[in-house]
Amino acid sequence: MVNPQDLQRLSPYLHEIPQDWREDMRVPARLYASEAMLEDIATDRSLEQLINTATLPGIVGHALAMPDAHQGYGFPIGGVAATALPDGVLSPGGVGYDINCGVRVLTTSLDADEVRPQMNALMDALSSQVPVGVGSSGALRVSSQELQDVLRDGAEWAVRKGYGLRRDLEHTEDGGRLDAADPAKVSERALERGTDQIGTLGSGNHFLEVDRVSEVYDDEAAEAMGLRLNSVCVWIHCGSRGLGHQVCTDAVRAMQSAMKKYDITVPDRELVCAPFSSPEAQAYFAAMACAANYAWANRQVIAHSVRESLMRVFGSKVRRDDLPMLYDVCHNIAKVERHTVDGQEMELVVHRKGATRAFGPGHPDVPEALRELGQPVLIPGNMRSGSYVFLGTERGMADTFGSSCHGAGRVMSRTQARKQVRGQTLREELEQAGIVVRAGSMSGLAEEGPHAYKDVNLVVDVVHEAGIARKVARTQPLGIMKG
Amino acid sequence: MTDQDPDRQASSQPEPAGEFQEIEHTADLAIRVRGEDLVALFVHAANGMFHLLRCRPVERPAESVERDMELDAPDLETLLVDWLDELLYLSQRAGLCFETFDIHTLDDQGHLKATVHASGSQTPQRDIKAVTFSDLRIVQQEDGAYETTITFDV
């Protein structure tokens, strides 16, 4: 058990668990948090899970936890771990079951004042266009042949089919397509689960939100991203649905036996892994890339439905070109990237589980239009306080493999959250605050209420003050849609 | 809206005493399961998972579903994950909750044969993404009973 007083304070926002804390650690573990947040983080098993992550064969630098860290399975949520190629390990549990769960933001030329009177109509239009909730399906059904194209080409497939604009791809992490995808590595069961869930949101913490820009911290950067004070934007949070869950389930199961073969032991079986160059890891990487591409196709089709809804409700006030994508980030993924570790440039596989890539200014993977500024980082907060748009920094590149937090981070179990507030009461409170709510399940709404999350303002302050990404704007909800 | 007063419904089906108990997890769901033997442990784990899935009566009952299942795994923990994975997959495909679990064979070599049944009258109100291996250990207690804790990704 790690207590807050066991952590070494490196700065007001960075704390370290030294490598000799436990004999199986291969690197130190580092946690980004304010002093006040440490007590909360120590109440669950996130620090123990972070230490477990520090034992992965081939890990370099530090095992990292972002300020939204909380207990997960295997890795903590908010965890980042990089292993050195070719023999550092790849861990499917270090990506998670919702492969390429991520966030996409569309900006609009509309002002909140003109949208507010139409919010009910807009939320109705979105509800009719985007299936949401338990087992949601049916927005779009593809043949098994076409599914292969989706898995290979991701968001590019969707744009080719008319669900979006070419420009959208430039503003999507990796262009919305990972080259490593090989549909032959995806199981029949995963394929079966993928045929009818493109364009659906799902349930749990996934959401679709219509927000207004409520604060701007950097005028120039915000303008370049299409964020004007009081302008309206749309947030989409979802992932690879049943196909992605199945890909991870298959890989975690398949790698259990690979562990013996490669003589790897891990402190938690969910950290199951294999050397990146091994056939087992390569097979998972190719299947994971397919699931990631599926998730990008999913968010691309949902973005198309959002544009259709906005055009239906606001008529000639908006054209498709007036609804550009700010960016699309994934926050459950493993990527091959080059980073400098201890002064040496290395090729690494970076696991981000509940963490967002945050590349700094000038990086070639940042869209050209924003390259001088850095990569946009999209941080959803909660359904009352809103969300943040950040930019990646040089400091993040040096200290966190170019990574930032992915949200506010839960602080309370689902049972506790339901005990503290009734879904109906929360809905009424939100509506009194002028937020239109569409929710399939009142208990699901209560489980995901603002009270179940850390204070997002404090979480993002840690990221900003530590310098691993920087604040550009805050947005607050006008309408939310939940499963 | 699928549930009129779901906050109340969420706690309307008590956990059967001694079979399984939901335990606190910050983000996901977890149950502690106990069984006087391995068969009971596996049945209680299945009951626990469908409890977490919040099964509710459907307006129009669907056709019942019965499936024979045969699983082989290298160890009991993997077999338990395979068993719950299979039930989760069948449930999601049919949109139904399974209620009856007849385990014909279950040995510590990791072999299981069972027949599972969904009456068609119950449907899940919550998604579980996956059954995890996180800290999964089946432990035999001094009284001979088996216990384990299972974490589900939601």
The reply to whether omega before A86 is within 30° of 0 (cis) is yes
- pLDDT at A17 > cutoff 50: yes
Comparing CA positions, the residue from A78, A12, A73, A82 lying closest to residue A45 is A73
The tally of domains found in chain B comes to 1
Q: Region A99-120: what's the mean pLDDT?
A: 98
How does pLDDT run across A289-344, given as a tens digit for each residue? 999 999 999 999 999 999 999 999 999 899 888 899 999 999 999 999 999 999 99
How does pLDDT run across A137-160, given as a tens digit for each residue? 887 999 999 999 999 999 999 999
Average pLDDT, chain A: 96
Return the residue of B nearest to A483 by Cα: B126
Q: With contacts defined as CB-CB under 8 Å, which chain A residues touch B130?
A: 97, 245, 248-249
Is A72's CB within 8 Å of B27's CB? yes
pLDDT score at A391: 98
- Which CATH superfamily hosts domain A4-89+99-411+453-482? tRNA-splicing ligase RtcB (3.90.1860.10)
Contact A260, A72 (CB under 8 A): no
The alpha carbon dihedral of A396, A399, A402, A405 has a sign of: negative
**DSSP class per residue in A390-430:** EEE-HHHHHHSSSEEE-S--B-S-HHHHHHH--HHHHHHHH
In the structure encoding, which two tokens stand for residue A67, read together? 């300020």
In the structure encoding, which two tokens stand for residue A326, read together? 């700010």
- pLDDT at B6 > cutoff 70: no
Within 13 A of B24's CA, how many CA atoms are on the CB side? 13
How does pLDDT run across B37-57, given as a tens digit for each residue? 999 999 999 999 999 999 999
- Percentage, residues of chain A above pLDDT 90: 94
- pLDDT at A466 > cutoff 90: yes
Residue B101 placed within a domain: yes
Cα gap B16→A324, rounded to integer Å: 53
Find the helix or strand (DSSP H, E) in which B56 lies. Answer: strand B55-57
Cα gap B77→A269, rounded to integer Å: 10
Domain range list for chain A: 4-89+99-411+453-482
Q: Region A85-92: what's the mean pLDDT?
A: 96
Q: Tell me the residue ranges of DSSP E strands in A249-368.
A: 274-275, 325-330, 332-341, 344-353, 355-357
Comparing CA positions, the residue from B90, B71, B86, B85 lying closest to residue B136 is B85
Q: With contacts defined as CB-CB under 8 Å, which chain B residues touch A134?
A: 124-127
How does pLDDT run across A199-251, given as a tens digit for each residue? 999 999 999 999 999 999 999 999 999 999 999 999 999 999 999 999 999 99
Residue B145 placed within a domain: yes
Question: Does the active-site annotation cover A15?
Answer: no
In the structure encoding, which two tokens stand for residue A285, read together? 């990487």
- pLDDT at A38 > cutoff 60: yes
B90 lies in which domain range? 20-153
**Element counts in chain A: helices (H) and strands (E):** 16, 19
Q: In CATH, what number is assigned to the domain containing residue B64?
A: 3.55.10.10
Cα gap A346→A84, rounded to integer Å: 7
pLDDT score at A382: 96
Is B9's CB within 8 Å of A98's CB? no
First vs last Cα of chain B: how many Å apart? 21
Under the banding of pLDDT at 50, 70 and 90, the label for residue B119 is: very high
Cα gap A271→A444, rounded to integer Å: 29
Cα gap A125→A119, rounded to integer Å: 10
Residues in contact with A455: Cβ distance below 8 Å, sequence separation at least 6, in sequence order: A385, A408
- Interface probe for B, chosen from A206, A266, A413, A438 (most Cβ of B below 10 Å), is A413
Residue B117 placed within a domain: yes
How does pLDDT run across A399-442, given as a tens digit for each residue? 999 999 999 999 999 999 999 999 999 999 999 999 999 998 89
Under the banding of pLDDT at 50, 70 and 90, the label for residue A43 is: confident
Cα gap B10→A137, rounded to integer Å: 24
CA distance A27 to chain B (A): 22
Under the banding of pLDDT at 50, 70 and 90, the label for residue A1 is: confident
Q: Does A418 touch chain B (CB under 8 A)?
A: yes
pLDDT score at B13: 59
- pLDDT at A395 > cutoff 60: yes
Q: CA distances (Å), A392 to each of A3, A403, B60, B107, in order?
A: 31, 8, 52, 53
Q: With contacts defined as CB-CB under 8 Å, which chain B residues touch A73?
A: 28, 132-134, 151, 153
